[in-house]
Structure 1
Amino acid sequence: MFALRDDPGIWSLDDVSITDKSGNELLSNGDFEQGYLASWIYCNPSNGTYGGYVGTGSSYDGSYSYLDGVVGASDYLSQTFTVTPYSNYSITFWLSTNSNSNSATFAQIYVTS
């Protein structure tokens, strides 16, 4: 799960990947190239303005990325997948912001089983 907040900037998240030891991808639409949040769960529990969406212009690779400029609170993006106990996984992602030094910028990444 990604918890993001950037007042007044925008986070760009792209190329989220979780692979098992054989290289099998466990996430769906981790590159957001479907153009919307297919397979992702979006939550904005505080109804912060400028919440997350899939858009163009700030991707690492391809046309689309997840863009999030929520103000006043964090919002959340997550996806569930099946794992095998006691196995190792590779987790990678690209995360960038256009914030300045006067902004309230928070990014927390949670991995739980």
Structure 2
Amino acid sequence: MSNVCSTGINMIAINLTMNYGFSYSLYEYNFTAIYSSALITISIQRLSWYWDFDDFSLINSNGSELLLNGGFEMGTTAYWIYCNPYASSYSGVIMSAAQAGRNHSGIYNWQDAAEPYPDFLAQNVSLTIGENYTFSFWLMADSGGGQVLVNIYQK
């Protein structure tokens, strides 16, 4: 289903099915821009329990960070677009270390367990055509498993 969190030409689609872990793993992907902007979209749907995300990052070839508030350290979803088009239960929230102690770094992280349908986090970024980029994030699943789709829509 296309929505404000999933528009453009899908250039990279990463489908992660993750099992029980209780420790963070780093996921990192490289791509070359063919358009001047992109919508970085994370779609989360759980099978059971929660997923914790932290430290989303998009680095250009000069080493500059392009995502804003990638670790949610503002304590809000500032600069992110949040979509829950199916009104799923257990949708995503920002958690503090004091609440759950499940952050990878800093004080805050994104926790999500949307069911029965996914919810979405997205951020628009400007790109330079022909430049190489590295998108990365840290992810932990507590028990059970689920599915995370990461899409980079260039437009």
Contact kept, 8 Å, 1:6 with 1:99, in 2: the verdict is: no
**d(CA) in 1 for partners of 2:149, 2:78:** 22
TM-score (norm 2): 0.68
Q: Is the 8 A contact 1:12 1:58 kept in 2?
A: yes
- Equivalent in the alignment of 2:130: 86
1:19 and 1:7 map into 2 onto residues whose CA distance is 31
Q: Is the 8 A contact 1:42 1:77 kept in 2?
A: yes
Q: Select 2:141's aligned residue among 97, 103, 108.
A: 97
* Regions of 4+ moved over 2 Å: none
5+ residue gaps, structure 1, are none
What aligned pairs does 1:1-113 form with structure 2 within 5 A after superposition? 1-56=41-96, 57-100=101-144, 103=145, 105-113=146-154
**Letter aligned with residue 54 of structure 1:** I
What code does the residue aligned with 2:149 have? Answer: Q
Structure 2: gaps (5+ residues): 1-40
**SS state at 1:24 partner:** coil
Letter in structure 1 aligned against 2:55: D
Higher strand share: 2
Structure 2 CA distance, aligned partners of 1:49 and 1:17? 27
Q: CA RMSD in A?
A: 1.0
**Identical residues among aligned pairs (%):** 33
